[in-house]
Amino acid sequence: MKGVALKYFRLFSEKNIDALSHLFDEEASLRDWQVEAQDRVNVLTAMRETFDSVESIQVNVVDIHELRYEKKIIAELEIVIDGNTEESLSVVDIIKFSDEEKILSIKAFKG
């Protein structure tokens, strides 16, 4: 799971929707402080809209914890938009996985 999460953060930073689509379960969901989406197609659409709204996005993993029995990753992140490190976002992602290690849900909290 940790490997999938790290791959997700890398592909998100690359704004690579095609590669990201393979990481998500069909029933995936996404919730953050701006967006809520249900099912893989809508999750990817929401991500594409985010990517289209910025020139660049860089996800830096500050800390990551794997809760294997709960099939969950908790990651503390620093997100830099358009190279503006002075206004980076502190975010915590909670990512739940299916038995096949596909992403079932992402809940992102800004803090």
Q: Which of 22, 20, 25, 47 is CA-nearest to residue 36?
A: 47
Q: What is the arithmetic mean of pLDDT over 24-34?
A: 97
Whole-angstrom Cα distance, residue 82 to residue 84? 6
- The pLDDT value recorded for residue 86 is 87
What pTM was estimated for this model as a whole? 0.95
Q: Which 3 state secondary structure label does DSSP give 91?
A: strand
- Cβ count near 49 (within 10 Å): 12
3-state secondary structure 58-97: EEEEEEEEEEHHHCEEEEEEEEEECCCHHHCEEEEEEEEE
Residue count of the chain, please give it.
Answer: 111
The pLDDT value recorded for residue 111 is 84
DSSP-based three-state secondary structure for 100: coil
pLDDT tens-digit map of 32-91? 999 999 999 999 999 999 999 999 999 999 999 999 999 999 999 999 999 998 889 999
Name residue, tokens 């790290």.
Answer: 6
Q: Which runs of consecutive H residues, i.e. helices, occur in the chain?
A: 2-14, 17-21, 40-52
Q: What are φ and ψ of residue 40, in 5° steps?
A: -55, -45
